[in-house]
Amino acid sequence: MAKVEAKRGLSEERLREFLREMLLIRRFEEKVEERFRAGELPGFLHVAIGQEAVAVGVCQAMEDGDVFASTHRAHGHTLARGTHPNAVMAELYGKLEGCSHGYGGSMHLYDVERGNLGANAVVGGGLPAITGAALAFKLRGEPRVAVAFFGDGATNIGTFHESLNLAQLWQVPAVFVLEDNHWAESTPEIQHSPIRDLSKRAEAFGMKVMKADGQDVEEVHRVAQRALKYARDGKGPVFLHVETERLVGHYIGDPQVYRDKEELHRLQETRDPITLLREKLGISDEEFEADDQEVQEIVEASVEFAKAGTDPKPEDALKNIYA
């Protein structure tokens, strides 16, 4: 056992923390679905069920001072980087106590203090600014890294190509994390990309590529640490290609008419990152349920917090337009 631990480099205790983090995201997202269906949450919501290991593995490898840009599927990244569930849930309820004070919503979660430069509702929209943030770190000689999350769908848009090209050209400390869930909304990868291995797109710019199984949080974390160190050491940007699974629809309420239900069921049975880690650690039902109970209480409390939050005044809409 000790030998395995040494190879892992992570203690069982740390992995248990990861499990709880992933479980927090899962239960949070399930609660979001439930409250959305109950008509309590306005807007358009995308949950990260199935992709928890990417969020936790990468965000736990980041250091204080590192920054990141997220996507429309942002709850997981934001929670994994340490924003309190109360602040995230309050944002989804449109309250002043929310992490974007009610101005952003699900697709625009921010927490600048924790390096969250914003979730973006334009696919690929956040990548150029990550190259720019990394340029600022390089120009100022700061040992910080800027991280961009994006999906396979984003690898077809111009922002992706221009940002990677410039980042590699200028050797800035950025990590581009491709959360490859093989779906661009309802369009499968086979219909949106002529190549199967999307990391070739980064290789075409001469960028360092690292790969990880996105359902194995330990592996994601290990590879993300290497990627962040590589960038932080001034060796240039890294393309971190993570294969993951979207175990739910694109948005809450998506009937997924485009998706093979048997295949989805198979993925839910075999590729759930929480089940996989639980099995790997040999956690008993009792232990798991204790963790689960604790997490569910946190999530329930976040709903209570959010509901008790302060509604913005309508005219607050005219604030925060200019600095």
Partner 1 sequence: MPELSYREAVRDALAAAMRKDDDVFIMGEDIAEMGGSMGVTQGMLDEFGAERVRNTPISEIAIVGAGIGAAMQGMRPVVEVMYEDFLTVSMEQIVNQAAKHRYMSGGQLKVPLTIRTQGGAGWSPGAQHAQQVEAWFVHVPGLKVVFASTPTDVRGLLWSAIYDDNPVIFFEHRTLYGLKEDVPEDLEPIAIGQSRVHREGSDVTVVATGRLVHEALKAAEEADSEGVSVEVWDPRTLQPLDLDALVASVKKTNRVVVAHEAITRMGFGAEIAAVVQEQAFDWLDAPIERVGAKFAPLPFAPVMEEYVVPHAADVLEAIKRTVARG
**Closest to 231 in 3D by CA, of 6, 67, 51:** 67
Q: Can you give the binding site for partner 1, defined by CB under 8 A?
A: 67, 98, 100-104, 108, 110-113, 117-118, 120, 122, 125-137, 139-140, 146, 158-159, 162-163, 165-166, 169-170, 319-323
Report, in Å, the least distance between residue 128 CB and partner 1. Answer: 2
Report, in Å, the least distance between residue 92 CB and partner 1. Answer: 14
Report, in Å, the least distance between residue 154 CB and partner 1. Answer: 13
Report, in Å, the least distance between residue 239 CB and partner 1. Answer: 16
Nearest-angstrom CA–CA distance, 15 and 164: 32
Structure tokens at 83: 């924003």
The SS3 assignment for 123 reads: coil
Report, in Å, the least distance between residue 288 CB and partner 1. Answer: 37
The SS3 assignment for 243 reads: strand
Nearest-angstrom CA–CA distance, 269 and 277: 13
Closer to partner 1 by CB, 104 or 273: give it.
104
Nearest-angstrom CA–CA distance, 318 and 283: 51
The residues that bridge with 117 in the sheet, in sequence order, are: none
Structure tokens at 140: 């100022």
Closer to partner 1 by CB, 37 or 319: give it.
319
Closer to partner 1 by CB, 165 or 268: give it.
165
For residue 35, how far is the Cα from the chain centroid? 21
**Closest to 91 in 3D by CA, of 41, 20, 57, 161:** 41
Closer to partner 1 by CB, 56 or 130: give it.
130
Q: Is 312 left (phi over 0), alpha (psi -120 to 50) or beta?
A: beta
Contact 184, 163 (CB under 8 A): no
Report, in Å, the least distance between residue 282 CB and partner 1. Answer: 42
Closer to partner 1 by CB, 82 or 132: give it.
132
Closer to partner 1 by CB, 128 or 249: give it.
128
